[in-house]
Chain A
Amino acid sequence: MTLQPSLTLRSPETAPLGQGYPLVAVRSLVIRYGSITALHGVDLEVNAGEAVAIVGPNGAGKTSLLSAIAGIVRPADGSIAIGGEPLAGIALPDVVRRGVALVPEGRNIFGSLTVLENLRLGATVRSDGAVGSDIEEVFASFPILGQRRNQPAGQLSGGEQQMLAIARAMLSRPRLLMLDEPSLGLAPAIVDRVYELLQSIRARGVAMLVVEQNAARAFALADRACVMSHGAFTLTGTPDEIARHERFDAAYFGVAMSAERSPT
């Protein structure tokens, strides 16, 4: 069960990455919806090939952060840069052309379109001739998607839809794959398969930013982890440090501190 991730490293469609810059750099990011502030000055860096997990309770602002990096939500303050280039002037459809792909919460596959059409849309930003063979590789890895290639994607099970959503995002050949609650609403056995898939994508050097309420799952995948609560990071460090931190639970629910400074 592997996606063909060799594709991820040669990305003819995406602009060359600025040397010496982190893949994504978020500085003092503030997000507001009307009078409600969802993020109060968040800093985050994701480097090439690195996997970062963001955990926290519902409503902590995790989705807002991903939405901002994906260009869906515009910051009220602070900045986001992709490969050193500010995101501010980039239109939403061009973010994926910078190598950042999003698998949103709830998957958002196009239910009325066929499985094959969903995958072809994933490759919207590419114009090379390898799209067809990449899609065949997806079908080889996921025979169930192959069997149903001409059926409406809305007829797939939740787990199959999640696989489809991830495969669709991978077809843009991203440098960074962002996932919002990939385990949400799935049975534990299916979650195992989803995380196996993510593990294999990660093994091929694609950077990852995973948002989860299910902290244990995300920690197993990540190099670094951040706990978010009430619109700010309350704890950052390696997954190990954070999981063993005596105040992890408190941090999860909103007490600010930094694991990097605290002895473990």
Chain B
Amino acid sequence: METAVQTLVDVVSVGGLYALTALGIGLIFGVMRLINFAHSQLIMAAGYAILLFFTQSAALAILAALVAAVLLALLTERAAFLPLRGADPATLLIASFAASFFIEKLMVMFVGSRPKGVDFLPFLAGQVEIAGVRLQLLQIVTIVVSLILLSATTSFLKTTRLGLEMRAAAENFRMAEVLGIRANRVIAAAFAISGVLAAAVACLFVAQTGLVQPRMGLQLVIIAFVGTVIGGLGSLPGAAFGGFLVGAATILLQALLPEELRVFREAFLFVAVAVVLLFRPQGLIPARGMKERI
């Protein structure tokens, strides 16, 4: 019983982390059909901001992470994607791939590629006992933060004027512009939100691993990409759900696979994804309007 609950908490917390990552990616894709590889660098930038400030205070480090990720998100949007408005998704994909590598290599050039230890929020490593089950505090915090951010993003999209414009632009960008919605403002807002989500992921991730390095966000982002595809590219609930699913699946595989096969869990995961896509090429929660767009 206790292991089952612990596994469940494990599944939900890792799933939540991936859901946050996938949501940040899905938001940008929804609004401008861009798969943002550089999302991984947003997480990295937030990670290094934590490294700079964590010795002074945790709150300051979190604030710095937010500022760094949001600024970098807006900067990449300005420099790499603004000049490409109206370009096809493949061109945008290459641009984001190049931007992502450029930022990473620049970082390697200046700080080197070796990981640096960060003792961020050490108290989260402690255990708490809830209803007789011992759980790691960090996992509880991860679940709570994920829930808060997912619902905050949802209610932003549902209830605010900007959120409405963002959903309209996500469904039919050109028509939104015809109605007078200022695309650049909407896109910048989407990037800022993806920066916030990336910063949150970075804080949780750094607290968990205790390391920062130029490539720290990569694994998360690649798996989250696959999550957005399986959830249904262009659909925001699909992105969050798909992200949760792939994250949860990695933990379930870890728990259920026999010892000697555990190292192959990503392979199992991706093969399972391919099988799902064989039956549902549009993903589990297909986006409206994506079919005609191709």
Contacts and interface: CB of A to CB of B under 8 A. Distances in A.
Interface of A: 70, 72, 92-97, 102, 104, 108, 110-113, 117, 120-122, 124-125, 154, 168, 172
Contact of A168 (B164, B165, B172, B179): B179
Contacts of B167: 110, 112-113, 117
Contacts of B164: 113, 117, 120-121
A95 B175 CA distance: 12
A62 to B, nearest CB: 17
A121 B177 contact: no
A111 B179 contact: no
Size range of the interface on B?
10 to 19
Interface string B168-190: 10011011111111110000000
A97 B175 contact: no
B289 A122 contact: no
6 contacts: A72-B174, A72-B178, A104-B175, A112-B167, A113-B168, A124-B165
B171 A122 contact: no
B78 interface: no
A122 B65 CA distance: 38
Contacts of B182: 93
Contacts of A121: 164-165, 168, 176, 179, 181
B288 A112 contact: yes
Interface string B44-56: 0000000000000
B288 A124 contact: no
B176 A154 contact: no
Contacts of A112: 167, 171, 288-289
Given A111-B289, A112-B288, A117-B164, A96 B178 contact: yes
Interface string B139-169: 0000000000000000000000000110110
A160 B292 CA distance: 21
Contacts of B176: 121
Contacts of B171: 110-113
A102 B180 contact: no
A183 B41 CA distance: 50
Q: Which of B167, B174, B175, B288 has the most chain A CB atoms inside 10 A of its CB?
A: B175
Contacts of A97: 180
Given A113-B167, A117-B164, A108 B180 contact: no
B175 A93 contact: no
